[in-house]
Structure 1
Amino acid sequence: MNDWAKRRTRDYVDTQRWAGSGDMGRDVVGYATRRRHEGEWDNFQCKQLSSRLSEKDAFIELGKIFMHAAAGHCRLPRAYTFVAPKGVVRNVQNYVAHPERFRQAFLDRWAEFVASELVENQVVALTPEIRDAIGQFAFDSIYWLDAVGLAEDEHAVPALVKWFAYDPGAAPAGVTPDLPQDEEAPYIAQLIGLYGERCNTTFADFDAALANPDWGEHLKDQRTRYFEAAAFDRYYRDSTPSDYLSTFKDDLYHGVVDTHRDQHVDGLTRVLKVLAQASQVSPAGILGYYAKVPVKQGTCHQFANEGRLPWRK
């Protein structure tokens, strides 16, 4: 569940884990703005229970939020999600499905379920301030996730890959834009320079190199490979643990670096030899299984972009 929470909250401006004594009803918090608790925020209450989350426990957890918001310790959350592997009891499901019933239930059952459970050895009355907090809160922003829901959530896929050897499947094919993109500029400039050295000429720009009868098609192929690698990166960056992609690239780097360092007739020969070697490298793991030849060769152009294995020394 921790792996899921880290992934689920990565798109926030900031996140914080508050679990433990004094958490004020917060567990994993995602801040929507840099104002953090003074701005909009979402709460993920993660319960590692051996049974379903009970009605009383749900009331108590939300009650902490209302009590502390009423006291001015934090704003009410924008959204609240119970994360419980075994799920929630039927009454909680019904309350979540009927937000205004949920609100009224808090007002009606505060004394029964909540008042004596918030502060040790104290009974917290339903003050006008707490009543206002309950009235202001958007009960239609309460959700719950069980193990099935977690498994179906896209943010859980990397955890499933890590812990249960889940197969993330093949990456989608890359799409090569008609015009060169800024991200391609370094490796394309290097290749064009090497084409010029081989032809003993200077190509004015990308279009001039593309029109060359000897190397124009080669340049097109390299762009196709580059964008195959880019699509591969995007897909597995989201669907596998963070170290999988870096491990894949490290394996490929070590598979081609000696060929890159070898003595070659010219720079273009180095490119051709390295790309041929890349096609033969078999990185370990699920990414190695799905990495087709264009992906591995396109990754070498990424290395050239980064200066890790430049085509022109």
Structure 2
Amino acid sequence: MIPAPFDYVAPSTVDEAVRALSEAGEDAKVLAGGQSLLPVLRMRLAAPTTVVDLGKIAELRGVRDDGDAIVIGSMTTHYDVQRDPLIHDHAVLLAKATATVADPQVRHRGTFGGSLAHADPAGDLLAPALALDAEMVIRGMDGQRTVPAAEFFEDFFTTSLAPEEILVEVRVPKHTGWPAHYEKFNRVAQAWSMVAVAATVRAEGGTIAEARIGLTNMSSVPVRARAVEEALVGQPATADAIRAAAEHAAEGTNPTVDGNADVEYRQHLARVLTGRAIEAAVAG
């Protein structure tokens, strides 16, 4: 199917992009890697009056060290996130999760910021960003603001971004040396997660000192498994202790029902996958 007609703008700076969005109004759409937007345009599930392409804005690409955090430009591709040495040193959970996104072709075109701004609860990068206490840096006509991941995701495909705002970068606090794992359950390779678990832990002398656990597709937004984190702290990094903590994984979740699974099955998956993810993370 051919998309409905629209105006196309390809700015070279963030300020130009923000201005273009402001002038176009609420019916404009931002084009990042295009892996989510282009299919809905072709099927006419969206009919924007203007498409603002961020592909020419060099300042939105790359990963840099910023003291106690690493900063990921919103237009950095999944491929580059997956392989960046700063990510592997200070936020390896992101590399582990990114490696499961779709297939190599999508990872070469799709972008880190585009995935977060799309806010699909089955998307594989939302829960890791939440677990790592990432912050979203947003630019609009009124200037720049920073929003914690816990406040950025508001509902299905809905974020705190205003129509004229752009996600420019993501700040991720360093979790240097924290082993991590992303455990994903899907029906077929490259499919969306039915449920997935992002886990990263810090152990001292065989005891779990800190833990960060995020759940994918267990609500309309990514979920932080706080009860599991609290149950893990101070416990020995043994299979029995981990499984006991993982039994809390479904607490506070509100998974959807679809053709893949009902509520009870998704909550069962959350408990099982959480145990697997933590055990794999502890094992390094």
Q: TM-score band, normalised by the shorter chain?
A: under 0.3
The structure with more radius of gyration: 1
Task: Report the TM-score, using the length of structure 1 for normalisation.
Answer: 0.23
Q: Which has the higher strand share?
A: 2
More helix by share: 1
